[in-house]
Structure 1
Amino acid sequence: MPPSPSPRTDRPLARRSRRRLLLAAAGLALAPLAWGQAAPAPAAAHAAPPTRDAVVKASFLHKFASFVEWPEGTFARPDAPIHIGILGDEAVWRELSELARDRDRDGRPVVPARLQPGDSLAGQHILYLKAETPARIEELLATVPEGVLTVSDSEGAHPRGSVLSFFLEEGIVHFGVSVEAANRQKLRLDARLVSTARLISSRDAGVPRG
């Protein structure tokens, strides 16, 4: 019987396999029709259920930047990096960090930051917040400055004040959008993003999805 591969050999193979999974998921998000169906992971992703949703969310976060126009003067240079802050979801931070190593976004490097409770939320262009309740996310959103694309992730409702939000429907990751929240943040959203999201009005914000 041949000897088992050593740990030193296994680690690079595992890293390459994981990177292929991330790039495959990113490819789904890049497809024009994937906005409504991007959540189904490629076949390889189904072999790792614990990371499937994290891979999909990380791919979306990376892709969202191409569909947002920030206020004039947000970026000092055409190649200035896009900063994406992650609070409350280490798995998404890991997957986004892996994805950002291989892909920029419209000529800009993507710089993910893992934030801890109590950290300042300033200095980010995209801010992903995960908490157990919409109420907790709304508390955090109240401290976010203008010009930040906020993406929330909580059970049930789209938190008031969040521009985008992830939610699961029949085991598939979808996202909702509040144009009103985007306007308050001084952000202009691409029509393609809005048309493929679930629209959230001020009347619907905070109401459990069902």
Structure 2
Amino acid sequence: MRGVRRALGLLTLAALCAAATVGGAWAQPTLEFSVKAAFLTKFPAFVTWPESAMTPSEPLRICVVGDDPFGPALEQSAQGRALEDHPLAVRRLAVVDRASGCHVLYALGSSRQSAAQALQAVRGAPVLTVTDAAQGGARGMIHFVVFQDRVRFQIDALQAAQSGLSMSSKLLALALTVKR
């Protein structure tokens, strides 16, 4: 059953890559961030966390630290979704640290904590870090970029491995670039 869910998730993720146009009719930032929100809720299906990262039935927490560009899009994308026995939950934080309980961290940065500081706060912990090229130079394990008018991503698999995470080869195949 997990294989079927993973295949369906991969198809959806591939469709997002193909359809995530940000130019022309998709030029509004809210649509771009709706696509990014969908990616954030799909990525966990292609990542393996160490057993110690989550207790049984604990929610898989997607945290946004910094100025939030999503509006309701992230909650809408996460609603009713789960990774095995872990329902997806969204948290918005002014600052993050290792004890924040995040499994996925979208680090944008703000006046209280820069994206680089947020990444440093969870470095080495089993937290999938995601950053955005449009928001500055800090780079997480997954880094959103706009390429040929589409929302795409680059992956730093080495950084993920150093935090105890492994990424599916299917996810790596969808990335623009992969650092190993």
Whether the TM-score (by the shorter chain) exceeds 0.5 is yes
In structure 1, runs of 5+ residues without a counterpart are 1-26, 203-210
Q: Does 1:69 align with 2:51?
A: no
Pair 97,196 (structure 1): closer, same or farther in 2 beyond 3 Å: same
Corresponding position of 1:175: 153
Check 1:30–1:113 CA distance in 2 against 1; reply closer, same or farther (3 A cut).
farther
Match of 2:3 in 1: none
- Distance in 2, matches of 1:30 and 1:56, equals 15
Query: Residues of 2 paired with 1:54 and 1:152: CA distance?
Result: 13
Counterpart of 1:96, as a letter, is: L
Q: For residue 82 of structure 1, what is the aligned residue in structure 2?
A: 60
| Moved segments of 4+, more than 6 Å | none
Say yes or no: does 1:195 pair with 2:173: yes
Say which structure is richer in strand. 2
> Would the alpha carbon gap of residues 168 and 190 (structure 1) be closer, same or farther in structure 2, given more than 3 Å must change?
same
- Give 2:41's aligned amino acid: H
CA distance in 1, matches of 2:78, 2:144: 20
- TM-score normalised by L of structure 1: 0.67
Q: Is the 8 A contact 1:58 1:93 kept in 2?
A: no
- Which deviations, in whole Å up to 9, do the C-alpha atoms of 1:66-106 show, x marking residues without a partner? 000001222211x3210010022423262111222233333
Bigger-Rg structure (1/2): 1
> How far apart are the structure 1 equivalents of 2:26 and 2:18?
19
CA distance, structure 1, for counterparts of residue 9 and residue 32 of structure 2: 13
Is 1:52–2:31 an aligned residue pair?
A: yes
Inter-CA distance 96–197: structure 2 relative to 1 (3 Å threshold): same
Return the offset for 1:191. Answer: 0.5
Q: Offset of 1:29 from its aligned partner?
A: 7.0
Equivalent position amino acid for 1:57 in 2: K
Larger relative contact order (Cα-Cα within 8 Å, sequence gap ≥ 6): 2
Structure 2 segments unaligned to the other structure (5+ residues): 1-7
Is 1:38–1:56's contact at 8 Å kept on the other side of the alignment? no
Aligned to 1:104: 82
How far apart in 2 are the matches of 1:33 and 1:115?
Answer: 30
Report if aligned partners of 1:85, 1:114 keep a CA contact under 8 Å in 2.
yes
Equivalent residue number for residue 184 of structure 1: 162
